[in-house]
Structure 1
């Protein structure tokens, strides 16, 4: 197993709040708005005034679809256009990823391998490589330098495996993984993204 860069994998984790913020931001940004209520103008019916304006002693109403009526519209309900997005700066995301990786490295949950042993794009090839490195049925995050067709074909049907490229790593996937497998060359890309001069 190769030595991991201490600037990324051996940081003193002092900002748990940032990790939590990045975790929540991932969930919020994955959320889509589906719920929608009908306003008074969208509810079927209610076109006729329920009673005349004056002389009945009752409160004046122009429609039976008033929000305070039974079967009326909803005031202040969901529109279906809610924006749940939470923004983090690029630097904050990188710091959060490095601190999350440091937590996993401290827990001895990160391993490095030369390759996934994929020749024909078979699931059994990946499973054999993982088993050889002590990974069986745990939630496993595999970081690869490139997601080629063979890699995707060999891993798509393994329910406990998720494959990502280094620049797509996020706190949510890192913290939910029982094991993180770094394939050769992915660590170099990770270093270039997190502490290198080039922007991802």
Structure 2
């Protein structure tokens, strides 16, 4: 079982914590993480892109000129795709970009992402994270003390003062344990978990 130090917000070690081997000591699988990140990004797409084909473009009801005798190519409508202002051929239409990935693969990818943070020494566990009133300066001070810049901060539940204090800091994201995902884990250099968040992650995902 991996063992990590537990710090307070002043950067002092206060205890040690044993992590669940299944969640934080799993084999690191870049292939599975790649699959899940692709799914996450694809599922975020709105899929509302749209162009008009020749049946939807306004105008073009009259035949531009007679079929024969003009010496020009035959034309049926000024809204055919080859005309300026005509419809678009094979353009994008609204559709779903969603990709399906099995639940087991998603779970293994999450274990892999969490385990990679432990293996790289980029997991920091705090005994607790409390900010009495929303103040960005206080959160910035805590991060500076812990020597963190681009970090994902995870708590067992969303605390509004902490969320409001962290949301304006570039490169920092605060979220609750239930919402943890592979994309956010890989996007941030460091992972900061409170002790309660560790317990929640192990309870939910183990």
Q: TM-score, normalised by structure 2?
A: 0.84
Where 2:152 maps in the other structure, the secondary structure is strand
- The answer to whether the aligner puts 1:10 opposite 2:2 as a matched pair is no
> Which residue of 180, 186, 189 corresponds with 2:200?
189
> Which residue of 11, 30, 34 corresponds with 1:20?
34
RMSD (CA atoms): 1.8
Greater strand fraction, Structure 1 or Structure 2:
2
* Distance in 1 of aligned mates of 2:27 and 2:181: 19
Q: List gaps (5 residues or longer) in structure 2.
A: 6-16
* Distance in 2 of aligned mates of 1:163 and 1:129: 14
1:1-200 correspondence runs (5 A) = 1=5, 2-13=17-28, 15-56=29-70, 59-79=73-93, 81-135=94-148, 138-195=149-206
Q: Alignment length, in residue pairs? A: 191
* Distance in 2 of aligned mates of 1:101 and 1:112: 13
Shift of 1:59: 4.8
Match of 2:8 in 1: none
Where 1:185 maps in the other structure, the secondary structure is helix
Deviations 1:155-178 (A, max 9, x none): 122122101112211111111111
* Distance in 2 of aligned mates of 1:149 and 1:101: 25
* Distance in 2 of aligned mates of 1:55 and 1:121: 80
**Superposed structure 1 runs of 4+ greater than 4 Å apart:** 54-59
Shift of 1:181: 0.2
Check 1:93–1:108 CA distance in 2 against 1; reply closer, same or farther (3 A cut).
Answer: same
Does structure 2 retain, via aligned residues, the 8 Å contact 1:117–1:125? no
